[in-house]
Amino acid sequence: MEQEFLQISQSSVAQALAADYICIYYVNSTDDRFVEYSASPEYRALGLPRSGDDFVHFSRELFVTKIAPEDRPRFLDTFTKPNVVAALDESGHFIMMFRVLFGDRPTYVHLKATRMPGEHGRRVVIGIMDVDEQVRARLAYERAYESGMAEAKAAARSAFLTNMSHDMHTPMNAIVGYTNIARSRMDDPAALRESLDKIASSSHFMLSLINDILDISRLESGQMTLSPGPCDLWELFRRIEDITALQAENKSLRITYNHERVSHYHVTTDELRLEQVIINLVRNAIQYTPAGGSVDLIAEEEAAGPGRGRYRFIVRDTGVGIDADYLPHIFEAFTRGVRTTVNQIRGSGLGLPITGRIMKLMGGTIDVQSRVGAGSCFTVTVELETLDDGEPEPEPEPEEVDLNGRRVLLVEDNVINAEITRMVLEEFGMDVDLAENGALGVEAVRTHGADYYDAVLMDIQMPVMNGYEATRAIRALNDPKARALPIIALSANSLPEDVRESLAAGMNAHVAKPFQPLQLIQTLQQYIKA
């Protein structure tokens, strides 16, 4: 009686489970014979055989014709006897999903093959379940979610562009307005100087906006790459201090720089990008800290394995802080904690997103702690290959070179740019020869000899021959002095990749336009021999 009850129970369970499937097959995995255990009327209407001697032939020649054409290649590639056997051996079941054509309507189905246990281990049960309703509901949800995300991103971009339009028009309005004021007050030196100072300040801000937009565009398109190489952290810290100390002083801030806990200063990294990250964070701290506050840059190192160090760059301020609701979004592009149209802090809102993405490229992390009214603390952590074991020897102060009477070849095709550069150089007593393209620049050096010029200022984008080609041609001249002639890029191509390309072409340095006169003069003094 118990055996009979067990058989009835097993039969009932099997029938109950079979009701969830549109068809079930028993397959003998030894000889591939198969028989249909159950099938729905809709499945029977497909006209497929209910039993046979070769399930492989059945599935690949007959059953496949009932599958949606778009899914057939994937079915044929996946549903093979070796694949099924391997999956059964590993996990006891094989699963895949595709669409079956019931009339003209493709229906999502879920196929599951399970090996029967015990003495029937050579037999496999294959069930096909109709999951069309669930799959289509999930796809509809995903489409709605993606659409909502796309709309949210579009809204964020729109809001960002609104803010950016305001931010770009603000300095442009100042430049145009103060230019007109300067013209109308030529006889008032004080008003003229004030107007020029404000034009310069607005121009610098406009340039920073443009650079941020270019950087985020390259990051989003995947065009930004890293170029690791030897890096002197001591020199990098010195440059960062030179760049940011005056900005802090102008805002009446106390700023400190501490890298006493760094043991290895010579490392391998993308120096330009690491410098960009740290400067972005320090400038951000300066920008959002009111007068009388403080900003600290701290660098630390700890061992991270043989020949490697884990470096932390900590930027701490006593500024306005970041709202807790906005903290999770500070590294997202096209977002801001507050609208710039209703506050007095200027900026593109892209500095932190750019910084975060560069650190991701470098394999590092950025952590932030902040409280409104108490300030913020950003911690950059990155592992770097170390190249030395001791503190660097301080470099000797460069000897100041008198540029009066020095001759410079200016290779520049833009008349206005050439005029501005010539005026700056002539103010320092230099003689300037002009070549309107790279080919004429090469010819000037060939004609006069490399020792005729003390330096060459080379634009990059020019007709006939660009600056890279011209530099290579000068270095290749049959004149030993041509290889030592200082050639300095003076170009609006200002990205770190552009700097690397200039150096790779044989130039000694790269000065980006629009340039600061003092920066250009200092660069010339660095490379012109006394």
Q: Is 78 left (phi over 0), alpha (psi -120 to 50) or beta?
A: alpha
How distant is the alpha carbon of residue 95 from its chain centre? 38
Which amino acid is residue 490, in one-letter code? L
pLDDT of residue 334: 59
pLDDT of residue 396: 56
Residue 526: closest CA among 505, 504, 511, 506: 511
Q: CA–CA separation, 168 vs 348, rounded Å? A: 9
Buried b (16+ CB within 10 A) or exposed e, 250-264: ebebebebebeebeb
Q: CA–CA separation, 138 vs 249, rounded Å? A: 58
**Which token pair is 297?**
């840059």
**Which token pair is 66?**
């009932």
Q: For residues 465, 471, 476 and 480, what is the CA-based torsion angle, rounded to 10 degrees?
A: 140
Whether the CB-CB separation of 270 and 226 falls below 8 Å is answered with yes
pLDDT in tens, the chain (530 residues): 344 433 434 444 455 556 778 899 988 888 889 999 889 998 998 888 999 988 888 888 888 999 999 999 999 999 988 898 889 888 888 999 999 998 888 999 999 998 887 645 578 899 999 999 999 988 888 888 888 777 767 776 666 666 666 667 767 787 888 888 888 888 888 888 888 888 887 787 777 777 777 777 777 767 777 888 899 999 999 888 988 888 888 899 999 999 999 999 999 999 888 988 998 899 889 989 999 999 999 999 998 888 899 999 999 999 999 888 888 888 876 565 553 333 445 555 677 888 888 899 999 999 999 999 899 999 999 999 998 655 555 555 556 678 999 999 999 999 988 999 999 999 999 999 999 999 999 999 999 988 899 999 999 999 999 999 999 999 999 888 899 999 999 988 877 778 889 999 999 999 988 888 888 998 999 899 75
pLDDT of residue 182: 86
Residue 433: closest CA among 456, 410, 463: 410
Q: Let me know how many helices (H) and strands (E) the chain has, helices first.
A: 15, 18
Looking at the DSSP bridge assignments, the partners of residue 487 are 456
Q: CA–CA separation, 153 vs 286, rounded Å? A: 29
Residue 331: closest CA among 312, 289, 359, 363: 359
Predicted structure pTM score = 0.54
Helix (H, G, I), strand (E, B) or coil at 255: strand
pLDDT of residue 428: 92
